[in-house]
Amino acid sequence: MCDAEVAAVLLNRCTAQPFDDDEPSYLGVLREGNLAFKHELGFVGMRDLPDPEACCAESIIFADGSRALRISVGDGDTGWTQWTALQPLH
């Protein structure tokens, strides 16, 4: 089991809040578990074109190369998807 799989289960249980702080409190759960990670927030849309329909993407990259990912519609009220785990490439 990779780090992202463990993290996705934990985050899906405790993440009811949106990403709205400089340091979301749910990242503390991962730190308490001594997981080394890098947190990124970005957008998914058409390359090189401004896209008002772009989705927000939140990603946590772990030392083992795995990644936990969730997305949200940019201006929507639907909130975020559940966290999903992506396996490392190797």
- Each residue's pLDDT tens digit, 13-47: 875 555 555 667 788 888 888 889 999 988 887 77
Give me the pLDDT at residue 14, please: 77
| SS (HEC) of the chain | CCHHHHHHHHHHHHCCCCCCCCCCCHHHHHHHCCCCEEEEEEEECCCCCCCCCCEEEEEEEECCCCEEEEEEECCCCCCECCCEEECCCC
Predicted model pTM: 0.78
pLDDT tens digits, one per residue of 51-77: 667 788 999 999 999 999 999 876 656
